[in-house]
Amino acid sequence: MKTFWRETFRGFVRILFKVLTRVDAIGSENVPETGGCIIAVNHFSRLDPPLVYILVKRKDVTALAADKYQSYPLIRWVINIVDGIWLNREEADFGAMREARKYLQSGGALGIAPEGTRSSSGGLLLAKTGVAFLADKTGVPVIPTAIFGTEYAVKQMLLLQRPSIHVRFGKPLTLPPIEHKDRDGCLKRNTDEIMCQIAAMLPPEYRGAYADFPRLKELLNATHAA
């Protein structure tokens, strides 16, 4: 029964996006068809998670979800239908991290916003190290994913406009191992790499906290050279 509702929800959301928006998606083939992987995506709008959900062609794709949404019956039902993992963002939620680790090790695809929350500034926020931690503990690749255009989409739809939304899935990243003697430094290095990869796929006005990172400039120069 859960599979029925899961696929029904996917079909319904897909129709809504097709009718109400113009979605330009590139690189979905970069998400492995099987095996554990983390889809690391920036977060500008509540539209981002369902959009990634319908674009990734895997039935086992799910996401971490803030537990504050458990007080919203419809959202709670949807998250449970897609086997989402509830996360308490107000503290170090070791239970959610263990569940996420187990899901990835079992071969599942897990969407996570490295920033930990929606950006209200219209630009990237400095990310937390959870994605880098999970990638190291599970050995799964990270798919950097950039979304823009969703931040104003709901307002545009309410004005009977059809917003343009853009999604870019980058190449899978295999990050360097975390060394115990410099754990914090290594986690930050890998986190910055993930976020700079995302920033490189965004227009300049969306790069926010990562706009002046040297690694981003290296990635942009390499893209221009190619």
Structure tokens at 147: 């979304």
User: Is residue 75 exposed (0-12), middle (13-18) or buried (19+ Cβ within 10 Å)?
Assistant: middle
d(CA 129, CA 187) in angstroms, rounded, equals 6
Structure tokens at 164: 């343009």
What are residue 26's DSSP bridge partners? 168
| Least confident window among 12-26, 87-101, 130-144, 179-193 | 87-101
- Per-residue pLDDT, averaged over 2-7, amounts to 85
Q: Is the pLDDT reported for residue 226 higher than 70?
A: no
* For the chain, counts of helices (H) and of strands (E): 8, 7
d(CA 147, CA 28) in angstroms, rounded, equals 12
* Residue 151 contacts residue 45 (beta carbons within 8 Å): yes
The domain spans of the chain are 2-225
d(CA 177, CA 221) in angstroms, rounded, equals 26
Q: Is the pLDDT reported for residue 91 higher than 80?
A: no
CATH of the domain spanning 2-225? 3.40.1130
